[in-house]
Amino acid sequence: MYKIVDGSKGERRSFAITVGLQECYGDDATVHTVEEVVPFIENHLKAAAAAGRQFLTGSVTAGTVVYAWPEGPGNAGGGNEPQAAFVGEVSPLYNADLSDEEVEVILNDLASELGSALGQTRVYVAYRDELWILQKEDTETPTGETV
């Protein structure tokens, strides 16, 4: 028999950080693995815990991102690459005191470090019912978007 842990029931606050695993494009691109992502995130969480900072626990899943882009009237390009997602819930038991703004800071910090470690131009972050894209400063996407 299991019972609900006191203090563990609360409002659901889901999050996800999604990052591509392929650096650059073409046949010479470096492709990272989920096996590299897991220890990176674990070390990030441990460093936060050791420093007395808040952190968010989650799961790492592997997948494939599939995309397309316009190439003029009637034409489009497309591709796919491996990706990893760090997904979880803000724990009512362990993170109840975190405001939404503080959660966003924690997510953006981890997403930025993960994107940098994997050589990514963009990292995608979702929290609750919002989604935003972080792009490395002074970079341009293949379709010419800058920040």
Considering the entire predicted model, what is its pTM? 0.91
**Strand spans (E) along the chain:** 14-20, 22-23, 30-31, 58-70, 76-89, 122-127, 130-135
Query: Structural domain tally of the chain?
Result: 1
Share of the chain above pLDDT 70, in %: 99
- Residue 120 sits at φ, ψ, to 5 deg, of -95, 145
Domain extent for 105: 14-135
pLDDT of the residue at 109: 97
Residue 146 lies in a domain: no
pLDDT of residue 33: 95
In a domain? residue 102? yes
Is there a domain that residue 77 lies in?
yes
List, for the chain, all residue ranges whose pLDDT scores fall below the cut of 50.
none
